[in-house]
């Protein structure tokens, strides 16, 4: 239970295929609670259930005891309804990496239907850090949605996929420009 006056940070990501929620103690950067689930196209319902579970764990969390931020492709319409501040997802990742892992030079984030890359470059002359971002939302190849479709076609379960290991000795020639084929 949260002591009176304590404030926690709630981070929410409503993506094209999943909803993620984390409750963080900002003083210690300790994750106090987190959940991840597929929403099966019911983003608002999945988020409501997740926030109810967080509220059960931390009474008062959604009534001013927590500061909430929301990101992701499905977050915009839900931000006001849950009392969260919307942060564009590339900006959210950039801010988190700069704060938690300033040594990182690049980030590749594969979403359900898009891919993002963030490059961090230090200017040797002035020392300033430059951030270069790019987001591919035109083609879903290599993203979570494509992986899900490949699983359906092959009959492989998500659990079995996590057990697969890359074999660098076995190469498969690809005769097309698209990574899916």
Q: What is the pLDDT of residue 3?
A: 42
Kind plus residue range of the DSSP H or E element containing 30: strand 30-38
Q: Does the pLDDT of residue 147 top 80, yes or no? A: no
How big is the CA angle at 103 (ends 98 and 109), to the nearest 5 degrees?
A: 60
Provide the Cα torsion 144, 161, 92, 9; round to 10°: 130
Q: Are 37 and 95 in contact (CB under 8 A)?
A: no
> Does the pLDDT value for residue 89 go beyond 80?
yes
Q: Is residue 151 within 8 Å of residue 157, measured between CB atoms?
A: yes
Mean pLDDT computed over 132-136: 86
* Residue-level pLDDT at 110: 83
| Tens digit of each residue's pLDDT (9 = 90 or more) over 153-176 | 888 888 888 888 877 788 766 665
Query: Would you say the pTM of this structure is higher than 0.85?
Result: no
Please give the Cα distance from 178 to 174 (Å, whole number). Answer: 9
Q: Is the pLDDT score of 104 beyond 50?
A: yes
Q: Using one digit for the tens of pLDDT, what is the confidence trace for 43-88? A: 999 999 999 999 999 988 888 767 999 999 999 999 999 999 999 9
Residue ranges of domains in the chain, CATH in brackets: 8-87 (3.30.420.40), 91-158 (no CATH)
């Amino acid at each position: 239970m949260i002591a009176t006056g304590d404030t926690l940070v709630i981070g929410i990501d409503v993506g094209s295929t999943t909803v993620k929620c984390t409750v963080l103690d900002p003083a210690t950067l300790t994750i106090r609670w987190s959940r991840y689930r597929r929403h099966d196209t019911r983003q608002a319902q999945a988020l409501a259930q997740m926030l109810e579970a967080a509220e059960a764990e931390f009474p008062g969390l959604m009534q001013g005891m927590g500061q909430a931020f929301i990101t992701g492709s499905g977050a915009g319409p839900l931000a006001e309804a849950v009392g969260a501040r919307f942060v564009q997802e590339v900006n959210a990742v950039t801010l988190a990496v700069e704060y938690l892992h300033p040594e990182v030079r690049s980030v590749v984030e594969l979403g359900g239907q898009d891919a993002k890359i963030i490059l961090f470059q230090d200017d040797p002359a002035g020392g300033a850090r430059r951030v270069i971002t790019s987001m591919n939302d035109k083609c879903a190849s290599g993203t979570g949605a494509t992986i899900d479709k490949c699983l359906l076609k092959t009959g492989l379960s998500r659990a079995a996929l996590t057990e697969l290991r890359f074999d660098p000795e076995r190469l498969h020639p690809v005769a097309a420009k698209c990574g899916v084929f």
